[in-house]
């Protein structure tokens, strides 16, 4: 299902995490009014019949309830007229039983939580202001009420390591989350992390380590049934000058998928690959040419294939996870 994104920069955030610069990353400084949201939905519905509306970019449940209600009611007017469901992003410490019930009552079906890491020293050094226990509690509350639960994970945060990032993916998959996004930590000029880096208190990951670490985390998550729906931040072209350092690449997700295909082929004696035309680059791209010599590749028409039904012995079907 296609998504209508509604971006609410810093909405409901009570303090600032060291890596965060939403203005620098998106160029969006203003929250849309209900009228602007209505216009956006009307325009999107001209091009497709079914949509999900997603509130991104802040701490939705940190907003006063009256404000949340205005946003949710604005969207729920379209239920039955093209909008199928609502998704919100928030922080784990802004979810409790009462808030989960409130979201459910107002038509929210998917809640994405900024977990970032499951190690408290990493969360503290990043000034997240919550603990890994808060993440566990929020997931438990939401899963218990039947929400689809997503998590955002970051790699290369201050005090983190390869082992901690991989273990965070493992812990979250064991907690039964449904969806994950993995973002390498970037240093934006407007973020506190920039000052930390200049003082020598933070060193960003290099691109090779970011790709490899993300590929390992994706394998961990997808093996356990978690859909990884985004790898790397989308930064509009005119905002990229705001990135001071860090492992940014506009095709980061594609490169990670290629790395995963290569690892699976090399480690699991894959004999044949089936890939849909839209994702050929996952097989052929980014230094993967040599795998042609070892395996047969069948390109399929259409966009149906996803990354499941792995017959590890003979066939790896390369397909795309969907949210």
Q: Which residues in this chain contact ligand SF4 in the complex, by CB under 6 A?
A: 10, 13, 16-17, 20, 22, 58-59, 91, 114
- What phi and psi values does residue 124 have, to the nearest 5 degrees? -70, -45
Which one, 91 or 213, has the nearer CB to ligand SF4? 91
Q: What is the spatial distance between Cα 297 and Cα 161, in angstroms, rounded to a whole number?
A: 36
Which one, 58 or 232, has the nearer CB to ligand SF4? 58
- Least distance CB 22 / ligand SF4 (angstroms): 6
- Least distance CB 260 / ligand SF4 (angstroms): 27
- Least distance CB 117 / ligand SF4 (angstroms): 12
Which one, 22 or 74, has the nearer CB to ligand SF4? 22
Q: Which two tokens stand for residue 216?
A: 């390992």
Q: Which two tokens stand for residue 94?
A: 């802004």
Q: Which two tokens stand for residue 231?
A: 């790898």
Which one, 154 or 318, has the nearer CB to ligand SF4? 154
Which one, 113 or 219, has the nearer CB to ligand SF4? 113
Which one, 64 or 80, has the nearer CB to ligand SF4? 64
- Least distance CB 59 / ligand SF4 (angstroms): 5
Pairing of strands 243-245, 187-188: antiparallel
Cα separations (Å) of 320 from 11, 33, 72, 80, 312? 31, 34, 30, 28, 17
Strands of 97-226 (E only): list them.
108-116, 148-155, 179-184, 187-188
Which one, 25 or 110, has the nearer CB to ligand SF4? 25
- Least distance CB 270 / ligand SF4 (angstroms): 38
Q: What is the spatial distance between Cα 86 and Cα 107, in angstroms, rounded to a whole number?
A: 6
Find out whether 180 and 169 touch, Cβ atoms under 8 Å: yes
- Least distance CB 10 / ligand SF4 (angstroms): 6
- Least distance CB 259 / ligand SF4 (angstroms): 27
Q: What is the spatial distance between Cα 153 and Cα 172, in angstroms, rounded to a whole number?
A: 9
Pairing of strands 108-116, 148-155: parallel
Longest dimension (CA), the chain: 61
Pairing of strands 2-7, 51-56: parallel
């Amino acid at each position: 299902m296609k998504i209508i994104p509604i971006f609410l920069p810093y909405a409901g955030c009570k303090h600032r995490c060291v890596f965060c610069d939403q203005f620098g990353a998106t160029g969006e400084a203003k929250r849309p009014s209900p009228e602007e949201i209505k216009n956006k939905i009307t325009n999107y519905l001209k091009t497709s019949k079914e949509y999900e509306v997603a509130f991104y970019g802040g701490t939705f449940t940190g907003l006063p309830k009256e404000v949340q209600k205005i946003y949710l009611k604005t969207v729920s007017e379209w239920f039955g007229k093209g909008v199928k469901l609502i998704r919100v992003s928030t922080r784990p410490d802004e979810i409790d039983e009462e808030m989960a019930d409130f979201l459910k009552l107002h038509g929210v079906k998917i809640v994405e939580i900024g977990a970032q890491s499951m190690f408290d020293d990493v969360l503290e050094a990043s000034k997240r202001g919550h603990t890994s226990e808060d993440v566990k509690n929020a997931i438990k509350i939401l899963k218990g009420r039947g929400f689809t639960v997503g998590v955002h994970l970051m790699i290369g945060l201050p005090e983190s390591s390869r082992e901690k990032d991989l273990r965070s993916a493992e812990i979250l998959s064991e907690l039964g989350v449904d969806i994950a996004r993995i973002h390498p930590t970037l240093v934006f000029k407007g973020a506190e992390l920039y000052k930390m880096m200049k003082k020598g208190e933070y060193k960003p990951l290099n691109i090779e380590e970011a790709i490899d670490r993300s590929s390992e985390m994706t394998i961990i998550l997808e093996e356990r049934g978690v859909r990884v729906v985004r790898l790397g931040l989308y930064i509009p072209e005119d905002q990229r000058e705001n990135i001071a350092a860090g492992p940014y690449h506009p095709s980061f997700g594609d490169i990670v998928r290629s790395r995963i295909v290569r690892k699976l082929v090399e480690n699991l004696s894959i004999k044949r690959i089936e890939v849909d035309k839209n994702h050929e680059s996952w097989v052929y791209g980014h230094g993967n040419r040599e795998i042609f010599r070892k395996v047969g590749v069948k390109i399929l028409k259409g966009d149906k294939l996803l990354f499941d039904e792995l017959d590890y012995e003979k066939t790896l079907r390369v397909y795309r996870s969907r949210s």
